[in-house]
Amino acid sequence: MSLNSLKDPHDFFYRLRQINIGLILLIGLFTGIGVLALYSAGNGNLDPWASRHIMRFGIGFAALLVICLIDIKWWYRLSYPLYAIGLILLVFVEVKGHTGMGAQRWIDLGFMKLQPSELMKIAVVMALARYFQSVGSEDSRRLSLLIVPTILVMLPVGLVLLQPDLGTALMICMAAAAMFFIAGVTIWLFIGGIVAVVSAIPIAWQFLHDYQKQRVLTFLEPERDPLGAGYHITQSKIAIGSGGIEGKGFLQGTQSHLNFLPEKQTDFIFTLWVEETGLMGGLAVLGLLLLIFAYGYWISFRCKHAYGRLLALGLTVNFSLYAFINIAMVMGLIPVVGAPLPLISYGGTAMLASMIGFGLVICCNVYRDSKLVRM
């Protein structure tokens, strides 16, 4: 085998060698924490949550391997079509979606309930990465060229708000803002956008649903309704505080196992974990998150084309943002927004979306020297 073939990104064995084993190990460790937490949530049983979490991770890992080995040029070409498919699925949710917990967010496929908004978060990043790749970093500073990417963001945000799902809509907006910043959009536009958003809060308040207003009011004053709207966050704080430095011990969490802690397998799984493992366990999760972010940033930095840089860092920011918002939410630092902790919380579509995202991030490293339309 010649030296050139060893460096050919189209050679299968070369591509295998470029797969980031370190990142995969971090993803596996992060998911392993989820398995342990879900095992505890099931009172020491793999069923009903931990076993399915393992199975979904296996399926997602297979998808990750396939995605990361596909030439990034194909993902570049498919960015807009996949975005369009995501929009169609969001429209379908509005027409004939599955309703649960007062919201219409899912498509019932029989073997699983698909939440298109989770997949749309990835599709938006892909579409923005392709757009900014095509216009170049210098042109991205022109205000007229920001109309198209703004529309690309606002269309899915509007459809998600109709479900209603304010939390996911805000996540898409924040991830998109990060993409705009990475692409080189002038800082003055961000300052102007922040001022506009703050100014619009009194108007936006009138359009919030009653339960959304309750979440904000509860965040500002949790004690106003400790047995009603403030129950979730109050119990979460009690559980986290009672964990202390080293925790109560695995399977020994009283707040979770005596069912004081609601949604312990989904939104509040970090609370369960910290109650049983304490501050040390919580710091371990945060440490893994920072390592995953650093790995994604390193991959982005290595890419020689703008699409890979934007895609890798955008997806990394999206994952990290979701995780840190969940942790801040259960600690009472921000209002409850219904955001799961990726790879740890129980949820099929969230797991699939995370693994697809990481598959694309690794793909950016495998094809970091690929020649795209514009460098």
Torsion of CA 173, 338, 126, 65, to 10 degrees: 160
- Longest pairwise C-alpha distance within the chain: 72
| Count of beta carbons in the 10 Å neighbourhood of residue 101 | 7
Residue 372 belongs to a domain: no
Of 247, 254, 255, give the one whose Cα is nearest residue 276. Answer: 247
Residue 36 belongs to a domain: yes
Q: What is the pLDDT along the chain (375 residues), one digit of tens a residue?
A: 343 444 555 667 777 888 889 999 999 999 999 999 999 999 889 988 999 999 999 999 999 999 999 999 999 999 999 999 999 999 988 887 666 555 667 787 776 778 888 889 999 999 999 999 888 666 556 777 788 999 999 999 999 888 777 778 888 888 888 888 888 777 777 777 777 777 777 777 776 667 667 777 776 666 666 666 677 788 888 899 888 998 899 988 888 888 888 788 888 999 999 999 999 999 999 999 999 999 999 999 888 888 999 999 999 999 998 899 999 988 888 887 778 899 999 988 889 999 999 999 999 999 988 776 444
Provide the number of structural domains found in the chain: 1
The CA distance from 225 to 255, in Å, is 19
In this predicted structure, what is the pLDDT of residue 113?
Answer: 78
In this predicted structure, what is the pLDDT of residue 68?
Answer: 93
- CA-to-CA separations, 178 to 64, 75, 137, 169, 318, in angstroms, rounded: 24, 20, 15, 14, 9
Residue 130 belongs to a domain: yes
Could you tell me the residue range of the domain that residue 237 belongs to? Answer: 3-366
In this predicted structure, what is the pLDDT of residue 199?
Answer: 75
Q: Give the containing element (helix H, strand E) for 99.
A: strand 98-100
Residue 375 belongs to a domain: no
The CA distance from 109 to 97, in Å, is 11
Residue 374 belongs to a domain: no
pTM score of the predicted model: 0.88
Residue 282 belongs to a domain: yes
Q: Give the containing element (helix H, strand E) for 114.
A: strand 113-114
Read out DSSP for 139-155?
Answer: HTTSGGGGHHHHHHHHH
Paired with 114 in beta bridges are 107
CB 373 within 8 Å of CB 132:
no
Residue 169 belongs to a domain: yes
Region for 101 from its dihedrals, namely left if φ exceeds 0, alpha if ψ lies in -120 to 50, beta otherwise: left
Read out DSSP for 119-130?
Answer: HHHHHHHHHHHH
Residue 341 belongs to a domain: yes
In this predicted structure, what is the pLDDT of residue 98?
Answer: 61
Q: How many CA atoms lie within 13 A of 275 on its CB side?
A: 28
In this predicted structure, what is the pLDDT of residue 175?
Answer: 85
